Every structure is written in structure tokens, then in C-alpha cells.
A and B are shown apart, each in its own frame.
Chain A
Amino acid sequence: MKLQNYTLRYLAITLLLVIPIWAGIFYVLILDEVYDNIDDDLKNSKIIIIRHAFADKKLLNSPEFGINKFTIKPLPKGHYPTKDTFFSTKEFMEYDNDDEPIRILKSFFKDEEGNQYELIIKASIVEEDELLQDLFLALIGLYVMLVISILVVNHLLLKKIWKAFYVVLNNLKEIKLGTGSRLKTINSPIDEFNTLAKEVEKMLDRNESIYSSQKQFIENASHELQTPLAISINKLELFAENSTLPDEQMMEIGKITDTLNRLTRLNKSLLMLSKIENQQFSEEENINFNELISIITEDYSDLADFKKVKITVTENDSLHFKMNKGLAIALISNLLKNALIHNYPEGFVKFIINKNEIIITNSGNNAPLNSAVIFNRFYRHTTTNESTGLGLSIVKSIINNYSIVIEYSFTGDHQFKINFPKK
């Protein structure tokens, strides 16, 4: 969920809770104030009526409301409460053709002769249900307007404010270590974002330098190892040639030489990897993969015959792709080598060339490989001493250099599918 919508969601939920609570309190307060006002008005009317009644004795006997808003009834002598009582009730109103709420003031007073009277004054009051309804509608209106205005503010203002943030985010997304990619600069009025951008840039520079020095280290180390390896291998070769040692000792020398040869291969593969990652294979040409695959499978046909593995190539379409030739060869031959190694006698390797993909299927071990780790460096499915465990990581790093995708799947046979970007 986007940052803007996220805040909006919480605001909307909070408002949904806060507004009714506020509305309830508001309603009670307003109603209280209205009643208070009416009661005051009734008290005022009472004083005026009593004053008039003293002046005009006729008023003392007006038991019906009639056009007046009050009644005065004489009462038998006795003790009556001196306090006024207020209450609300309902009365039929012709205008509305309905019962409407009214407020009643009931009071007792004595005239000069000490006769007891009862005074009732009524006043029409607010219709609570209608007030509630109006209030409810007004509140919905208020809520919608609030949410809309927050949305608008979010979209206009926040978008503007967070723009810098999204630039930083995009920068981070596009960073590819080792490619020397630069960050887009931001110019935000907000200090935090400027700091963020600055820190990201610093971090990138730091990582970039660590990365390149590490890459450089691997490359240099591999280079520096070549000469000592050459000396050791050559000295052993010469020694074996010149010596008249017993078979067992020659055997040991042979083993040492084999180990050194293995080290050489490992070293060469590492160099190859770091060169691919350093993009030192920049020369590109249009590669005809149909042709390339037929040449490579021909190269490997002796080995395949020896291993009794049948290689077939099905060309459904012709596939051209612009890339470095050496890398294209390394890509196909590493996959073919892999398919041949992890195979069994009377097994098969099938190449299928489609418009934008190459599918390599081979028979082999009857269990799927863990596709999460097979492309990792030094991952080995079996513990063959002679395998460097770098073949598929070379494949992976070649693929990373171009926008090619490789997928591994297992359907009884092992399958690698190389998807080339559509033209």
C-alpha cells in the first residue's frame, strides 16, 4: 500500500470513530442548551403572567389554553411545592397533523388573598428526532468533505512533498553495484529527504568502493596465482620426466600435478567470473544461436559418444541475439557440459530452439535440483573432486549481463530454459 493511501486509511477510520463521539457530545450539549434556553424563557413568561394576573383578576381563572400558552387554575387550600417543575411531553399540533414535543412549566402561586393557583405554561420545543436526523446528515456531509479534502491534500501536497522521497527510492531501485550508476539528485525543501539522499549517496559510494576493491582483489589474486602455479606445474612435469622413481612415487607426483591442474581450472573460472562481472567482454555481435549450438554440439560429440549420451537439436525457429561471442560460447558450452556431466549412459541431451528461447533438457539423477542454490558459486550437487562448482555461476553471471532469464525445472528430466528478451 502506498504511503499516501496508508495514512488516508488510518485517518478515515479514526474520523469514523471520532466524529460520532463528537456528534453525540455535541448533540447532548446543544439539546441541554436549548432546553435551558426554553426553561429560562418559560420562567420569564411565568413572572410576566403572574404580574399580569395580579393586575387583571380575570386572568386568574383561565383553565383552558385557547390561544394562550398558559392556564391558571384555582386550587383548594393546602400545601403545594414552591419549586417550579419542568417536564417534556407531546401534544397534537394541527399544523403538522402530528404529535409534537412541548415543554411544560408547572408552578404554584398565591394571590393577595392567599388563594392557591396552579400555573401551567407550555412552549413548543425542538423535534429531537428531526434534529438528530439533520445532525446525522450534516455529519455525513462533514465526514465526506473531510475525507475528500484529506485525499486532495494528500494527492497534491503530499505528492509534492514526497516526490523527493520517491526519487531516492527509484535511485535505490536502479542501483547496480559495479556499473558505476549515478544517483539522480533531489532538491527538496524538506531537510530529512535531503539528508536521506546524501546518506544514500555516501553509502553507495562506500559500497561501490568496497565492491570494486573486492572484485579487484579476486582478479588480482587470480592473476598473481597464475605464475606460481605455472612454476609448480612445470617443475613437477620436468621432474617426472627426468626422474626414475618407483611407480608409487610417480603416482604421488601425478596426484600433486592433478591437484595443481584443478587449482588452475578453479583459478581460471574465477578469473572468468570476475571478468564477466567487470564487464570486460564488451564487444558484441549478432550471434546466430542455431549455428553456435550446432558447432558446440559437434565439438562435444566425441565426449558425448564416449559417455553414450545422445545429443539432439530441434530448431523450431532461428534465434539471433546481440552479445559477446565468447560469452555466448561459454553460456551454451557450460550448460551442455553440465547436461553431459550429470547424465548416465544411454541418456540424452535435447536442445530445442524456439523464437525467443532455448530449452536444454537432459536425463539424469531422478531428483530435482534445488533451483535456489544451483547457480551459487561453489555449489556442488555431487562431490566430484574434479568439478569446480563454478560452471552454472558463470552461466548466471553471463545472463545477468544481458536481459536474459534462465529457469530450471524438473519434470522427470532436468530442464534449463533460457528466455531471450522479445524484440
Chain B
Amino acid sequence: MFPETWFYFELVFLNLSYRKQAIMKVLIIEDEAGLREVVQQSLEKEKYIVETAHDYISGFEKLGSYDYDCILIDIMLPNGSGLDLLKEVKKQKKQSAVIIISAKDAVDDKVKGLDLGADDYLSKPFHLSELHARIKSAMRRNNHNGDNLIVWKNVTLSPEQRTVSIDNNPLVLNRKEFDLLYYFIINQNRLINKTAIAEYVWGDHTDQADNLDFVYSQIKNLRKKLKDSNAEIDIQAVYGIGYKMT
């Protein structure tokens, strides 16, 4: 092994984290206090600077006064529609990534939102891990600087190329395994609910208990591959709840 290389990757990681801490600003425009609170707490754990607005008017004011890297907008707001706020963001030609959050899982709303320039659409209820994945994907897509590799410890993952390398040695993963690893890396150090994993990787068709066993078996495979290629990251099971990558 080459400790120098490890050191180099640590540095890159720290550097990236530092940049994240310094830059990422998120605005939550959501009228439900409970949801606003929990999303804020969860995002703050990611070292984002989080601001909140509880209705259309306060959302509009915040949009006018500050720049954000990512804006979460609920469609149904008191005294206005979130879609109008989205239009406002686009009018101001801001570089913010916008994610629409709606209780209405309606295709119309989704299409309308995406047509108006939203980067993503998330219907309530969602898992926090899913929210993080969406925010990171949206910000990454929105950030045209090209540096899109995700590096953690000795693992480097390219979301665009869909490749993974460990200590610069390519690791061959199938489609689902890659999705799984990507989800874990984006939610590093966070506890991910097993249902959230199932929904992310296998879509909406996971409403059976044995599908969670299925998730378990897929994770077991991924763990084995990571271990075999000496990855410094590992997936831990948190009994009864889900998994955590450390």
C-alpha cells in the first residue's frame, strides 16, 4: 500500500468538504412548520447554510435578497403558488438548483414544474436520504465547473461515466450495484432507511417484506465487492432500521 496516495485522497476529500461548507446555501420554502424544521435540521447536518420561508411573500423576499445554491419549493403555499416562485427564480436568471416539493403526486404538476425549469420534483412524503441525493444531484448538474467526481476515502465515483475506482483501480459494478453505491456515498455517514434504499434503486415496486430481504442480499454483494477491492468504506447494518456507510 501507498500511504502517500491515501493522504492525497484525504486531502481532496477535506478540500471538497471545506468548499461545501463555505459555499452551499439552501433555501426551504415550505408552509408546514414540522417539515421545514426537520428538513432544516437534516440539511444543517450536511453543513449547509439553511434559510427558510413559510409562505409565498417571505419566499419571494428571500429570493430577491440572497443567492442560493439550491432552493426547495413547496407548490401549495399560503397566498401563492410555488410554481410562480420558480418562475421568479428563472426570471432573475439565478444559478440556483430548484427542487419542487409537492403533496400532489400529480403528473401535471411534475411536468409543469420541470417545464418551468425546475431541476427535480419530489413528492411528499420522501425520505431524507432521497432529498439529499436529489439536492446533490441537482447541484452537481447545475455546477458546470466540470469537477464532478465524488471522492471519499480511497473510492472515486463518476456519476456521469458511471464508473468507480478504488485506489485508481477500476471496480466493476452492475447497474443496480452502482446505483446503490452512489446512493450510499451521497448519503455518507447518514443512516439510510431500508425502504428508502429499496425505493431508490428498485423504484416504486417494493411493497413487500421479502423485497427488503432482497435489498439485504444486494447490499451483501456490494459489501463483498468493496471488501475484496480493499475499499476503505464499508456498509454497516443498523438493526431494524437500515444501513449506514462509513
Contact = CB atoms under 8 A, between A and B. Distances in A.
B144 interface: no
A188 B120 CA distance: 60
Contacts of A265: 207
Interface string A244-276: 000100111111011001001100100100010
B241 A253 contact: yes
A384 B209 contact: yes
Contacts of B125: 226-227, 229-230, 233-234, 264
A386 B213 CA distance: 13
Given A234-B38, A271-B105, A306-B217, A240 B191 contact: yes
Given A234-B125, A271-B105, A384-B209, A299 B203 contact: yes
Contacts of B38: 231, 234-235, 238
Interface string B27-63: 0000010110011011001000000000000000000
Contacts of B107: 281, 326
A337 interface: yes
Contacts, number: 114
Given A230-B35, A384-B209, A247 B239 contact: yes
Contact of A386 (B34, B39, B202, B208): B208
B209 A229 contact: no
B106 interface: yes
B236 interface: no
Given A254-B239, A257-B241, A280 B34 contact: no
Interface size on B, as a range, is: 35 or more
Nearest to B196: A237
A341 B128 contact: no
Contacts of B106: 275, 280
Q: Chain A CB within 10 Å — which of B39, B124, B127 has the most?
A: B124
A241 B191 contact: yes
A303 interface: yes
A265 B198 CA distance: 13
Contact of A238 (B42, B126, B205): B42
A226 B203 contact: no
Contacts of A226: 103, 105, 123-125
B142 interface: no
B202 A302 contact: yes
A337 B205 contact: yes
Given A231-B38, A237-B193, A386-B208, A268 B240 contact: no
A359 B201 CA distance: 29
Interface size on A, as a range, is: 35 or more
Contacts of B105: 226, 268, 271
A385 interface: yes
Given A254-B241, A280-B106, A237 B209 contact: no
B127 A255 contact: no
B214 to A, nearest CB: 5
A226 B32 CA distance: 11
Q: Chain A CB within 10 Å — which of B106, B124, B207, B208 has the most?
A: B207
A295 B140 CA distance: 29
B110 to A, nearest CB: 11
B112 interface: no
B230 interface: no
B235 to A, nearest CB: 15
A300 interface: yes
B161 to A, nearest CB: 23
Interface in A342-387: 384-387
Given A280-B106, A386-B207, A251 B191 contact: no
A171 interface: no
Contacts of A252: 240
A116 interface: no
B190 interface: yes
Given A261-B193, A337-B207, 8 more contacts: A230-B126, A231-B34, A234-B125, A235-B38, A237-B127, A247-B239, A257-B193, A302-B202
Interface of B: 32, 34-35, 38-39, 41-42, 45, 103-107, 123-129, 176, 190-191, 193, 195, 202-203, 205, 207-211, 213-214, 217-218, 238-242
11 contacts: A223-B104, A226-B125, A228-B34, A229-B125, A233-B127, A234-B42, A241-B190, A251-B240, A257-B193, A265-B207, A302-B214
List the 10 closest pairs (A to B, CB-CB), nearest first.
A254-B240, A230-B125, A251-B240, A231-B34, A254-B241, A226-B103, A386-B209, A241-B191, A226-B124, A230-B124
